[in-house]
Amino acid sequence: MTRRVFAFAMLCVTFTASHGFSQQVEPKKTFNELYQPLPVILRLSYENFRNIKLLNAAIVNFGGGEDEFDRLVDEYAEASSLYFRNEYILSANKFTENEKNIAQVAEKIARKYKEITEDINRKTIKMKVKAEFRFALLGRKGDLHPAIDEAMRNGGFSLNKANDLFARNRYIDAIYFYRRSKQQNFKVYEILTKHFEQKKKDAKFKGKKDDVAFFEREEKRYKLPDEYKKDVVDNQNRVYLTGGEREKDK
């Protein structure tokens, strides 16, 4: 009798233990069920790191600032810590979540770049056309530098390229070309101011006081507006710092 009781007790312990282990199921995948977690981790640990780094200046300058950037970094760090604890499915899930949040931030910021760049492009075209009419009426059409046309074409090409990438959800690539477009538009102002500065020097050398005064006014007229200071720094993928601080490389 005692042996039967002992055998039954052992059977119960064995069943309970095996039943308990069967309850330890794997976490649910939030990435593609057909994928294994490690390849997902390896791919996204590289891509997410690269994309967060590329977005740094754009987030700080035109997005949610350092806080938004830090949230993406914290998510990445959490996914990494799960990997080093050998919790591969949870790590892959977190990296996937991080990827989605990076894409959402990139879309939001790229949309803002699109609005800003299209506005700058319109304003630059209007400025150029008004300058052409003005100089034609003054009989000084030859005083406009021909290089501004090339800069305008390049700016328009980059804007069209950026809009195409935006439509295809390639937001980080779109931001790159929005920056190039702004850079070319700002080049128009740079060409004009340098051109009129040289014209002023030539007039001064020839003793033409009226021309000196005219080109001095034009040089000031076509100086790049201060409202674009941040854009100029951002075009170099640099963080714009206010309060007299220097721009910071990223």
Q: Tell me how far apart the alpha carbons of residues 102 and 94 are, in angstroms, rounded to a whole number.
A: 12
**170 and 185 within one domain:** yes
**73 within some domain:** yes
**235 and 166 within one domain:** yes
Domain that includes residue 139, residue range: 109-249
**134 and 86 within one domain:** no
Residue 246 predicted with pLDDT over 80:
no
**153 and 63 within one domain:** no
- What is the number of domains present in the chain? 2
Confidence (pTM): 0.83
Residue 11 predicted with pLDDT over 80:
no
**16 within some domain:** no
Q: Tell me how far apart the alpha carbons of residues 222 and 190 are, in angstroms, rounded to a whole number.
A: 8
**7 within some domain:** no
Q: Which of 113, 111, 96 is nearest to 32 (CA)?
A: 96
Q: Are 156 and 172 in contact (CB under 8 A)?
A: no
pLDDT, tens digit, 9 for 90 and up, residues 139-172: 766 667 788 889 999 999 999 999 999 999 999 9
**55 and 115 within one domain:** no
pLDDT, tens digit, 9 for 90 and up, residues 28-70: 999 899 899 999 999 999 999 999 999 999 999 999 999 999 9
**124 within some domain:** yes
**233 and 119 within one domain:** yes
- Tell me what percent of the residues of the chain surpass a pLDDT of 70: 86
| Mean local confidence (pLDDT), 118-136 | 88
**186 and 116 within one domain:** yes
**152 and 51 within one domain:** no
Which value, in Å, is the radius of gyration of the alpha carbons in the chain? 30
**121 and 47 within one domain:** no
Residue at a domain's end among 76, 105, 134: 105
- In terms of phi and psi (left: phi > 0; alpha: psi -120 to 50; beta: otherwise), the region of 236 is alpha
Residue at a domain's end among 105, 140, 173: 105
* 249: β partners: 238
**127 and 98 within one domain:** no
Strand, coil or helix: 24: coil
Residue 135 predicted with pLDDT over 70:
yes
